[in-house]
Amino acid sequence: MFNRYPAFLRSLMGRLQFSKFMLRKMQQAARRSQERKYAGDWVYEVVVGDGQPFNFGIDYTECAIVKFMDAQGANELTPYLCNTDYVFSKAMGTGLRRTMTLAWGCEKCDFRYLKGGETQDAWPQSLSKGSVERLPLDKEEAQ
């Protein structure tokens, strides 16, 4: 699906994600999400980084996809939907790292984006809900 867009457009969209304008927009939307106006919506905060090990992050504490899939009795499929985040990030060149996800029973989804960084491989399929341990965000944290 993402490859339908020309590479220059995907790259432009990815670079725009790191602009001050988009950061302000994301922060405004995050503040609105804290109001919990809609029960089935996302609730999240924006985390500002300094470029090492990330430029910005988003911590989701409530996920609309998790809520919807749970209501449908299909929560075992949710982690596969979460894996599309990696596909999107690779297509846009936004350098995504994530160590936790709500779909696996963690306390939050911790998206971390690094401009020019590499997107990690998809969340391990061998894990089962409840067996997740937090993965390190960078090499230093892994040691």
Average pLDDT of 7-28?
Answer: 93
How many whole angstroms from its chain centre is CA 54? 13
Residue 43 resides in a domain = yes
Helices (H), ranges, the chain: 7-16, 20-33, 64-71, 78-82, 84-92, 139-142
- Confidence (pLDDT) at 57: 97
Residue 118 resides in a domain = yes
Q: How confident is the model at residue 16 (pLDDT cuts 50, 70, 90)?
A: very high
- Confidence (pLDDT) at 140: 52
Mean of per-residue pLDDT scores for the chain: 86
Residue 136 resides in a domain = no
Q: How far apart are CA 63 and CA 110, in angstroms?
A: 12
Average pLDDT of 63-86?
Answer: 93
Phi and psi at 20, nearest 5°, equal -60, -35
Residue 133 resides in a domain = no
The Cα angle at residue 134 between residues 130 and 140, in degrees rounded to 5: 165
| Residue 84, domain extent | 2-128
Residue 52 resides in a domain = yes
Q: In the chain, how many domains are there?
A: 1
- Confidence (pLDDT) at 135: 47
Average pLDDT of 14-18?
Answer: 92
Q: From its phi and psi, is residue 99 left (phi > 0), alpha (psi between -120 and 50) or beta?
A: alpha
Residue 141 resides in a domain = no
26-61 tens-digit pLDDT: 999 999 999 999 999 999 999 999 888 999 999 999
Residue 7 resides in a domain = yes
- Find, among 83, 45, 88, 92, the residue nearest to 65 by Cα: 83
- Confidence (pLDDT) at 134: 47
Residue 139 resides in a domain = no
